[in-house]
Structures are given as C-alpha cells and as structure tokens.
Amino acid sequence: MPNDATLRVVMLDEDHVMDLVRCGMAQASAGNDAMIRRFFAPEQCDPDRLYALAHGLSAADGVEVVQAKGDPLATARAQIILFRRGIVDGATVASCPDLLLVQRLGGRSDGIDLAGLRARLVPVSCLVRRTLSYTAEHAILLMLALAKRLPDAERALRAGAYDAVLVNAPDKVAYNWVGLSRVGGLHGRTLGIIGLGEVGALAARMAVGFGMRVIYANRRPLPPEGEAAAGARFRPLADLMAEADFISIHAPNTPQTKGLVNAAAIARMQPTAFLVNTARGPILDEDALYDALAAGRIAGAGLDVHATEPRPRDDRFCALPNVILTPHVAGGSRLGLLDEVGAIYDNLRAVRGGAPPPHDRVT
C-alpha cells in the first residue's frame, strides 16, 4: 500500500507491553513520556528512544491504532492485527477483507488460522521473545540452586566452615569440605510445569536438555504434536503435585488462577520436592507455602515473584533457610523489550511499503 494511505492497526488485547507498543506509535506527550519512564524504571530510558523506533508510524503519518476490546466491528476493519494473547481464527480472517499482516508478540502460532492466511497471501509473524527465554532460564536457575544448595554452600565457604576429616583427606582433595548433605541435581528428576504456555514450553525444553522427565498441568491437554514439541506429558494438577520432584509455575495471572497452588495442592507434594514461581505472586498461596517450608513438609522453594512487591525487609520468608528469593528479575532488563518492540515496528513499516515482514515470519 502507498505510504501516504491510512494504515489501521487493531490491537486484540491490552496489557503493559501492548501499552508500550501503542505509546511508541503515539505522539510524544507528557503523559506518554511519563508512562514510558515508569515502564522501564528503575532503568533509565529516554522516551525519544522509543519514539525513534516507531518513526513513520504515528497518527501524523496516517497510522490509526485501535484497541478492539472484543469488538468484532473494529477487528473487521483491520489491516494489521497485533496481539500477544488471543485468537485469529478462520472467522476472524474471513471478516477482515483488507488484512495485510497478522503480528503476534510471541513465538507460538497456535490459535492463528495459518492455512487461511496463507491462502490469502497474508503474512504472519510470530516474534520470538528473548525476555521469555530469560524467564524460563531463571526457573531452571532456581531449581539448580535449590537442588545443589547453592546459597548454603556459598555461605558456609565464606564463613570458613569445614569438616576436619574431609580437609585432612590423604589425597588432598577435600570434596564437600563444608559437610553439606542432600546435594543433588536435575538429571533423572521429574519436573511438573503448571501452565504449558510459551514460557512453560521453553522451560520444558530446557529441562529435557538437563535429562529431566517433564509433566504438565493445563486447563486442557495440548494436542499430541504440542506435547511432542515440548517433550512433556499431561497430568491433572493434583497428580502433578504428588508426582513431581520440582514444580514450576508458569500459569497466566487471571482471576481463575488466583490461589491455584493452594494448601491442598502443596499438601500433596513430596517432602523432598521443590516449588518455583516465576509467573505471578497471586497464583501461589504464600501462607500455605510458608507453613509447609517452616514445618519442613517440602524441601524448599524459589520465588522471583511475590504476593506483595516489593517484599518487606523483615518479611517472614526472609528468615527461612530453605527458600531462595529474587526481586522479580527473571525476564532480565526491561530495556530488552526495545528490541522486541522495534522488530514489530520494522514489520509494520515493511508491510505498509509493500514488502514482506523481515522478522520471524511464519507464513
């Protein structure tokens, strides 16, 4: 299409990342500047950096951004559909006669009518997100640190603790000289993933690389090809809690998942099992978790997300020796989102100019 023609971009969903994409395409203003600075805090980001990435895509350039909010009439007039979570099925595709691009922020293409879009020669881009890989990595990091008792080992070494018998070994190799017990690993263990979405699937594939067996709980099982791609097998949540050596929460934060991992679920865990949460704090009943950790009914936990953020300095969890706490940093630097958002803008500009999207095209 000519660059001077109006381009209608319809956003199917609303969240903080979609707000950032929209802000970049809006005219600079005090309100937008403040929102951008707030989003990237505590890191510094000049709002002009985001506006520069979106050059040529503002209202002044003839680009109209509409938030659908489930309005089928808004979607029907779309030339570009942009979303993170949602469905672009056959009915949606058929209702959009002017469609030029379907752009998802995320690497999965399920829920998109690829065949129908391919038949109409409409390109689809599913942008792989580095920040989601970082989150999956952090879940594995917490599992490793718990299994290998990393904080205990580091503290004991720094304190100069040692077992005299081990230090005086005749071969001069003082294996585990601080005398830690129950030091393990991931290989051969069972990982239970709650929520096999994009991050959960990434964590599953990483865990398979460590030699783990992976099971998962979802609202509904994935099709066989989805399970095969992730290397995971479905279990009802109650069974997963009882069977897994490590449990990692990756469910979305919705009213339906609030308190999903509750006292009854935690009570089913093995006494040697560990629980990790890198999703959102409200999904986990922290009172029930604290009771289980304090009583030694489970081996430990790793939390990057918390019921209250920031967690107070004198919080009860800070006194527990069998929990590892990190300050909601699993996704890495928020500045990394600039690369993801910039790739979306590149795709939009390319399609507007009649070229194929350069980033992560799947059809």
Which residues are identified as catalytic?
280, 309, 328
CA 81 to chain centre: 22
H helices within 256-336, ranges in order? 263-267, 286-294
Phi, psi of 139 (to 5 degrees): -60, -45
Give the 3-state secondary structure of residue 36. Answer: helix
What element of type H or E holds 83? Answer: strand 80-83
Phi, psi of 300 (to 5 degrees): 175, 180
List CB contacts of 363: < 8 A, sequence separation 6 or more: 114, 117, 118, 122, 123, 124
List CB contacts of 332: < 8 A, sequence separation 6 or more: 130, 131, 134
Count Cβ atoms within 10 A of the Cβ of residue 355 and give its class: 0-12 exposed, 13-18 middle, 19 or more buried.
Answer: exposed
How many alpha carbons lie under 13 Å from residue 215 in its C-beta half-sphere? 18
Phi, psi of 105 (to 5 degrees): -90, 95
d(CA 81, CA 100) in angstroms, rounded, equals 9
H helices within 148-183, ranges in order? 150-159, 164-167
For 83-93, b/e burial (b = at least 16 CB within 10 A) is bbebebeeebb
Cβ pair 112, 102 in contact under 8 A? yes
Q: Measuring CA to CA, which residue among 353, 350, 354 is closest to residue 125? A: 350
